[in-house]
A = this chain, B = another copy of it.
Amino acid sequence: MYHQEPKVQQNDLTVLRTSSLTGVIERELEHLILTGELKPGERLNEIQLSTHFGTSRGPLREATRSLQAKGLVESIRNRGVFVRSVSPKEALEIYDVRAAIFGLAGRLLADLVNDQMLTRLNAFLDQMDEIAASKNFDDYYPVNLAFHDYLVTSTGNGTLVREYKGFVNKLHLARARGLVQAGGLSVSNREHREMVDALASGNRERAQEAFFRHVERSKIRFRSTLDGETDV
């Protein structure tokens, strides 16, 4: 399970000054869930976790309520709180919504793009080409993430950023999530170039469509890993 003893330092007042115990626990739990230390379907035992964090059950329960609202766990009355398990069907739904939001990012960026941004984006593309050529999968993933992060953040639309990240998080809980991107590293980067080209053109609709399609294609790659599934 999880190993260290992070017993919240009551002394470390600097942290608790701004964020409550609940907030600290919530972030910690979210981390445990997203890193897979708490697996989909697993139950969150209140007593066990609260002693783990060195607090009482109150703040822990508040933290899990918050995570429930964010869709990371689900609660069944008198049974407990469980890490959510996102079905393939729901994962496909999420891909679509994420595509729409990412498409909006493209549309907004088409009006904001400037030389500095394009330079930065091209640097990303070159870096990813390089990594793709060396077939070093582990290195590709974080850069790819940073690339998307940079794009989304650059829109200046905080609501969009929060939503996008929320969906990326939820997709981590999808069952049957083989290493989706596995094969198509250079394929994916060709799509990235299309996106940047669309931005450079300054054409809103074209950029929106390019961004939208990029996510839709990764949805298709995801679906192709499902073939055997029944409860889609």
Spell out A's residues near B (CB within 8 Å).
17-20, 22, 58, 61-63, 65-70, 75, 77, 90, 93-94, 96-97, 99-101, 103-104, 107-108, 157-160, 163, 205, 209
Measured between beta carbons, the chain B residues less than 8 angstroms from A100 are 100-101, 103-104, 107
Q: Which of B18, B67, B75, B159 makes the CB contact (< 8 A) with A90? A: B159
Please report whether the interface of chain A is mostly helix, strand, loop or mixed according to DSSP.
helix
Closest chain-B Cβ to A198's Cβ sits at a distance in Å of 14
Copies of this chain in the oligomer: 2
Q: Which residue of B lies closest to A70 (CB)?
A: B69
Question: Could you pull out 13 A-B pairs where Cβ atoms are within 8 angstroms?
Answer: A17-B77, A20-B75, A20-B77, A22-B65, A62-B65, A65-B69, A66-B68, A67-B69, A93-B160, A96-B159, A97-B157, A100-B103, A100-B104
Which residues does chain B contribute within 8 Å of A93, judged by CB atoms? 157-160
Contacts of A63 in B (CB 8 A): 65
7 closest residue pairs by CB, A with B: A69-B69, A100-B104, A93-B159, A66-B69, A62-B65, A100-B100, A65-B65
